[in-house]
């Protein structure tokens, strides 16, 4: 044993925590993805209160009742922008965007909840506003995959829909989206 002196150099440890998940989708998400690849967006409609969850959850958390394939309900691929953020990206680890981009919530016609994190095209950033009517810009059928859909989230449409495009229709009435601004 010998005493040692403390080094002057201040060392830095670079560490990457990396967690990889491999999961089988639930039967409900399987049907959801099958429909997405087919160009349809489906959820479950609660038989008691009529709320439509996209994708279906297998239950209505408000009524605490089960929902099944029998409650499957197709919503439109058109909807209303309820809220949005223009994000100016900083170059943090994993950020691939370099220019300001849109992160919008879209309330699809027929759905009771927003689809989050959507790009809106066909309109300048400074013209974006709640109430805008938009429609899905689908990827070509052979490019649609299940990537990004997980049992842990609300599902995603990023692997089948590139963005939502302004339809040019008049804005939706405020009552359509005022309870859904997020």
* Binding region for another protein (CB under 8 A): 1-7, 9-25, 27, 30, 33, 93-94, 146-150
Closest CA relative to residue 177, chosen from 133, 147, 119, 141: 133
Cis ω before 12 (30° cut-off from 0): no
Does the footprint of Zn ion cover residue 52 (CB under 5 A)? no
Nearest to Zn ion of 111, 118 (CB atom): 111
Does the footprint of Zn ion cover residue 49 (CB under 5 A)? yes
Q: How far apart are CA 34 and CA 67, in angstroms?
A: 18
> Cβ 61 to Zn ion, closest distance in Å?
8
Closest CA relative to residue 146, chosen from 37, 49, 48: 37
Q: Which does 62 bind (CB under 5 to 8 A by kind): another protein, Zn ion, none?
A: Zn ion
The three-point CA angle 125-77-104 to 5° equals 30
Nearest to another protein of 85, 95 (CB atom): 95
Nearest to another protein of 20, 88 (CB atom): 20
> Cβ 157 to another protein, closest distance in Å?
14
Strands 133-138 and 78-87: antiparallel
């Amino acid at each position: 044993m010998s005493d040692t002196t403390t080094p002057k150099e201040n060392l830095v440890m670079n560490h990457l925590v990396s967690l990889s998940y491999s999961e089988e989708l639930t039967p409900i998400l399987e049907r959801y993805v099958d429909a997405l690849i087919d160009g349809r967006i489906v959820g479950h409609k609660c038989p008691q209160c009529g709320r439509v969850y996209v994708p279906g959850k297998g239950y209505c958390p408000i009524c605490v009742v089960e929902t099944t394939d029998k409650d499957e309900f197709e919503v439109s691929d058109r909807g209303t922008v309820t809220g949005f953020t223009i994000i100016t990206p900083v170059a943090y680890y994993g950020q691939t965007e370099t220019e300001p981009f849109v992160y919008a919530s879209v309330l699809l016609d027929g759905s009771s909840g927003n689809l989050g994190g959507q790009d809106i095209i066909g309109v300048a950033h400074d013209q974006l506003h709640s109430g805008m009517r938009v429609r899905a810009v689908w990827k070509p059928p052979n490019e649609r995959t299940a990537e990004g859909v997980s049992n842990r989230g609300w599902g995603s449409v990023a692997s089948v829909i590139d963005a939502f495009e302004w339809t040019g229709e008049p804005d939706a009435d405020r009552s359509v989206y005022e309870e859904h601004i997020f």
